[in-house]
Structure formats: C-alpha cells, structure tokens
Amino acid sequence: MPNNRSHLEEDICIHIFTVSASMVGVCLTVIGLLRVVIAIRQIDSFADDLLALTAILFLVSCLSSYWALRTRSKGRMHQVERFADVVFIIAMLLMVVACIIITFAVAIS
C-alpha cells in the first residue's frame, strides 16, 4: 500500500509540474493580448500586473514540483510538494481575480 501512495504523490507532482508550466504560457499570452487591447482602447488595467504575478507564482509552483520529483527524501518531497500545491492554488485564485478585473474593465469601457 505505501508504494501506491508514493506513486500517487509522484503523479500529483507531475500534474502540478505540467499544468503550472502551461499556465505560465497562458498568463504570458493573456498579458500580450491585454496589452494590445489596452493600446487600442486607451484603457488601463491592473489585470496585466496581476497576471504577471500569477505567471511568477506558477513558475515557482512548477520549479517546486520539479524539485519534489527530483528529491530522494520522502519527507522533503512531501514538504516541497505541499508548498508547490499551495502556491499553485494561490496562483489560480489570483488568475480568477484577474479575469474578473478584465471582464469588468472591458464591460465598462
């Protein structure tokens, strides 16, 4: 049974790693698109700054999960994996806030 749990935890780390890396790209793409909209409509938004922060947090989560996958100590793997998970959730929540800001900024203008 411990082997199945270890495999499951490694599987979670792999998912955090791949999704976090993808989300960095998504954040950067949205920042680029948002900058184009800001230039065209002459509106300013805090959302691009918030998305830059989420991109950094997703990168921290990605690197942390990679570190968890590479570590040999199970105890350290659990700590680093938990950290990566918390940072990932915070980044997702901030991304939702950025989406709300973008929605209201576009709707108001």
26-52 confidence digits (pLDDT tens): 999 998 888 887 787 776 678 888 999
Residue 29 token pair: 């793409």
Residue 61 token pair: 């989560």
Helix (H, G, I), strand (E, B) or coil at 67: helix
* Res. 103 pLDDT band, cuts 50 70 90: confident
How do residues 74-93 score in pLDDT, each as one tens digit? 888 889 999 999 999 999 99
By the 8 A CB rule, do 98 and 27 touch? Answer: no
pTM beyond 0.75, yes or no: yes
> Rounded to an integer, what distance in angstroms lies between the CA atom of residue 106 and that of residue 63?
34
